[in-house]
């Protein structure tokens, strides 16, 4: 599992597997992206991060508060071609992102102001290795009735690793057999399913995908 210590020490060029040189962001590019996001911070309000994938069960960063919330206008989609981490260039998998339409239930994390830059730098190192996401300030409806503004990592459809076809029948075989230095692509999917069940959240498209991947692995054990 990805740990805080691993991420702090990780060399982005080698720690996650082989990443195409032209796609790999430099430390300066990540810093510039983070600065641009903070420059748009609304009214210097507390910084919340919306987790809809692995951030839900393995956030790594520190937070002062965690709350269930709903993001409207975006839905989960395995639309990011995965060539490192839990996939390889020769056997790519699919990573989760957000595409326009629908809504997504997840977790909102309020970051400690006194450690804000330290925690965000770690988050950018984890999520923006290739700059595939658009860090966007979005309104979240928290379960307790509050509305907060949070940073959300949304798929950049202009990115070279973006895949428009995220239908379960297309991506299930990819997820079923892909693996890399951080483990299998299927385990990521199953961990997400377990976390949603644990939180009492439901995502019908995800349920269908999990079923197809399990059936594929049962009939054709890839890993």
Q: Is beta strand 48-51 parallel, antiparallel or unpaired with respect to 147-155?
A: parallel
Using CA atoms, how far apart are residues 87 and 94, in angstroms rounded to an integer? 8
Any catalytic annotation for residue 127? Answer: yes
- 74 burial level (CB within 10 Å; 0-12, 13-18, 19+): buried
Looking at 62, 100, 127, 193, which residue is catalytic?
Answer: 127
**Active-site amino acid positions:** 127
């Amino acid at each position: 599992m990805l740990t805080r210590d691993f991420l702090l020490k990780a060399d982005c060029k080698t720690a996650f597997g082989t990443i195409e040189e032209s796609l790999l962001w430099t430390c300066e590019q990540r810093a510039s992206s983070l600065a641009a996001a903070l420059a748009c911070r609304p009214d210097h309000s507390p910084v919340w991060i919306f987790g809809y994938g692995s951030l839900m069960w393995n956030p790594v960063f520190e937070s002062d508060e965690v709350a269930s919330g709903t993001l409207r206008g975006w839905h989960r989609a395995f639309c990011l071609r995965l060539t490192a981490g839990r996939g390889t260039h020769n056997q790519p998998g699919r990573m989760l992102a957000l595409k326009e339409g629908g809504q997504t239930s997840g977790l909102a994390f309020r970051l400690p102001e006194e450690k804000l830059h330290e925690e965000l730098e770690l988050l950018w190192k984890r999520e923006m290795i290739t700059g595939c996401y658009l860090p966007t300030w979005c309104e979240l409806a928290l379960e307790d009735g509050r509305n907060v503004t949070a940073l959300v990592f949304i798929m950049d459809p202009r990115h070279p690793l973006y895949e428009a076809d995220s239908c379960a029948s297309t991506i299930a075989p990819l997820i079923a057999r892909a693996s890399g230095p951080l483990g299998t692509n299927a385990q990521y999917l199953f961990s997400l399913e377990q976390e949603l069940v644990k939180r009492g959240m439901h995502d019908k498209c995800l349920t269908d995908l999990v079923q197809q991947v399990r059936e594929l692995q049962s009939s054709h054990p890839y890993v």
